[in-house]
Amino acid sequence: MNAWTTRELQVLNETLELRATIPRPDGGMHGPVILWHGVVGDDVFVRSARGARAAWFCCAVAAGVGVLDVDGATSTVRFEVAPADAVPAALDEVLHRRYDMFAPSPVAALTSSHAKDATLLVTPLRSADLNELLRWQRDERVDGSR
């Protein structure tokens, strides 16, 4: 798995909103959707304030990939559901520190138990990883198991 570079993490820490474009099951694209995120250590997390039924979240889980726009620079990323025991407790603190300035209700939604169940770990996909993932997705569709 590829990790974010120190510079990428710095830029992500300095950026308040990410814009994500995510493949839909019908072949179209969902988004761009604005995502609030938190960086904890070397990991980047996003949450769905509307929980696991939000359209963008469902598309991200199904596709496993998307494109993030970070202040005009795009990166292809992998989205993975983060099991509750793998999400650092510090994520809530990071989200409060970053976004409480806007209003308490959006951050309360992002730190609710409903949203915690809809947390994604976001990792960069480099060219070789992307090619392998696309090959896997194609093979899964061909044999019908997806």
* CATH number of 92's domain: 2.30.110.10
Task: Give CA–CA dist 30/22, Å, rounded.
Answer: 5
On whether residue 140 sits in a domain, the answer given is: no
Which among 76, 4, 70, 64 is positioned nearest to 36, based on CA atoms? 70
Output the six-digit token pair for 81. Answer: 């559901």
On whether residue 137 sits in a domain, the answer given is: no
What pLDDT, in 10s, does the model give residues 92-122?
Answer: 999 999 998 887 788 888 888 888 889 999 9
Domain containing 96 equals 6-132
CA 39 from chain centre, in angstroms, equals 11
On whether residue 52 sits in a domain, the answer given is: yes
On whether residue 1 sits in a domain, the answer given is: no
Show Cβ contacts of residue 74 under 8 Å, excluding neighbours closer than 6 positions.
67, 68
What pLDDT, in 10s, does the model give residues 13-42?
Answer: 999 999 999 998 888 898 899 999 999 999
On whether residue 34 sits in a domain, the answer given is: yes
Average pLDDT of the chain is 85
pLDDT at position 46: 95
pLDDT at position 146: 44
On whether residue 21 sits in a domain, the answer given is: yes
Number of domains the chain contains = 1
